[in-house]
Amino acid sequence: MAVTQNLLDKTLRWYIFLATLILLIASPVFYFVTRQMYIHEANEHLKLRKKEFIRYHLPSLHQTDIALWNRYNRDEKILDRKGGSRKEKLRTVFYFDSLAHDYEPYRELNTPITIEGRPYVFSAKINLIEKEDLLQGTGLLFFVLITTMLIGLYFITKVLSIKLWKPFYIGLEHLEKFEVDKSASTRLSQTTINEFVRLNQVIENLIRKNTSIYNTQKEFIENAAHELQTPLAVIQGKLETLFQQSSLTQSQSEVLEKLNDAVARLSRLNKNLLLLSRIEHDQFSESENISVNDLLKKHYEFFSEQAAAKKIRITVESSPSVNVTANPVLTEVMINNLFLNAIRHNIEGGYISIQLKETGFAISNTGHHSALPEQKIFSRFSKINPSTQGSGLGLAIVKKIADLNRWEIRYAFKNNWHTFSVNFR
């Protein structure tokens, strides 16, 4: 599976990527364009100064004035033309500045002129900003710009996006917490964003539909189980009437006994189904402080009788008084089911060990020499051994009861012992 990220983190990551890209591409472009415009502007300026000189100063200038001119003009000099080009020339040159102790870049325009018949060069120059300064400036400018933009984006994403996406996260949380067998409100938060309104509607519909399907199914099971009771009673009654016939042959009797067993099994299954659906309908909500020792003792005789028929030996290790707050009927059912399973799935001449402590209840038994599939044993009708008489609901009921009380139920297989333990916490 791919590594997952938060939606907002992912957005931010893209923002940072974009900002870096802009910084990398735009700053050199900006640098060159600025520099180009700057040099162009310097050229224009120099040409203007040249024009001014030629129009206003050159006509009245004498050879004797040149020294004086050069003395007081820093950036406009009149130089001898020693066989140099007769063409106007623009170039960038570096001059050493004795004050700054550094080479400074200049833009220089050399124009050939003639004063009183002699050839001279009019050289005008203008100080340029150093390249490093420009680079630094551009860099700084862009850095500040991008950083400001990123910080801005970060806060917009964090604050605005969180606000914008809030309904989404609420919906998500709602879905995560949703359990079909727990009734919860299907109302999600109000929002004015179209997509979220749609999303919420879909989620609400989905939840409502699922809950209603679940409820219908639950009711169906309860009604079906309930409606089956009466016909079952009729079948059992009729079977008993048949039993009383004195003219039954041996094979007929055997068929009857099998029928009787099947009906007993069916009614047991039905009762368990009813019990399960009643637990789901919260019909055992009232709880009280009960002694688990008493519950264990209550039917101990019954179970030891059942165990004796299979020559199973039982050892009990219990703390003197273990109390829990739970529904007494259900807790009894839970212990009985676990106890019965330990007998039912045991081997002839096997062992059962029961441990009751303040923290929990554990029952271990010998039996099959392999572990049971842990993820399957607590689901309905997952019978591991199809030959037994179990309804396939016993452990599902145990699990339901444990869940209802927030008790942890565990299965373990060690040294050929199957152990079910309930942690009262």
Instruction: Kindly list the residues in this chain that would bind other proteins in the complex (CB under 8 A).
Output: 226, 229-230, 232-238, 240-241, 243-244, 248, 250, 253-254, 256-257, 260-261, 263-265, 267-268, 271-272, 274, 278, 283, 299, 302, 305-306, 308-310, 329, 336-337, 340, 343-344, 388-390
Q: How far apart are CA 104 and CA 395, in angstroms?
A: 92
Query: Which residues on neighbouring strands pair with residue 109, listed in sequence order?
Result: 90, 124
Phi, psi of 150 (to 5 degrees): -65, -45
Closest approach, Cβ 230 to other proteins, in A, equals 6
Can you list the alpha helix ranges (DSSP code H) found in 324-425? 328-344, 374-377, 394-404
Instruction: Tell me which amino acid residue 363 is.
Output: I
Return the ∠ at Cα 57 (arms to 53 and 61), rounded to 5°: 130
For other proteins, the closer of residues 158 and 281 by Cβ is 281
Distance CA 299, CA 16 (A): 71
Residue 299 Cβ vs other proteins, minimum distance, rounded to whole Å: 6
Q: Judge whether 45 and 126 are in contact, CB under 8 Å.
A: yes
Residue 300: CB minimum distance to other proteins, A: 11
Q: How far is Cα 311 from Cα 317, in angstroms, rounded to an integer? A: 20
Least distance from C-beta 155 to other proteins, angstroms? 60
Select 104 or 222, whichever has its Cβ closest to other proteins. 222
Contact 284, 328 (CB under 8 A): no
Q: Are 118 and 63 in contact (CB under 8 A)?
A: yes
Distance, in Å, from the CA atom of 42 to the CA atom of 321, rounded to the nearest integer, reads 101
Torsion 366-370-376-382 (CA) sign = negative
* Shortest spacing between CB 401 and other proteins, in angstroms: 15
Toward other proteins, which CB reaches closer, 341 or 421? Answer: 341
Instruction: Give the phi and the psi of residue 372 in degrees, each rounded to 5.
Output: -85, 150
Contact 352, 364 (CB under 8 A): yes
In terms of CB distance, is 110 or 336 closer to other proteins?
336
83: alpha, beta or left? (left if phi > 0; alpha if psi -120 to 50): left
Of 208 and 281, nearer to other proteins (C-beta) is: 281
In the structure encoding, which two tokens stand for residue 301, read together? 């005789």
When the beta carbons of 65 and 305 are compared against other proteins, the nearer one is 305
Question: Residue 411: phi, psi to the nearest 5?
Answer: -120, 140
Of 358, 343, 272, the closest CA to residue 310 belongs to 343
How many angstroms separate the CA atoms of 414 and 417, rounded? Answer: 5
How far is Cα 43 from Cα 41, in angstroms, rounded to an integer? Answer: 5
Min separation Cβ 247 and other proteins, Å: 12
Query: From the CB of 359, what's the least distance to other proteins, in Å?
Result: 26
- Minimum CB distance to other proteins smaller for 45 or for 271: 271
Considering the complex, state which of residue 216 and residue 229 has its C-beta at the smaller distance from other proteins.
Answer: 229
In angstroms, give the least distance from the CB of 237 to other proteins: 3
| Pairing outcome for strands 360-366 and 417-423 | antiparallel
With respect to other proteins, which residue has the nearer C-beta, 60 or 389? 389
Which is closer to other proteins, CB of 18 or CB of 259?
Answer: 259
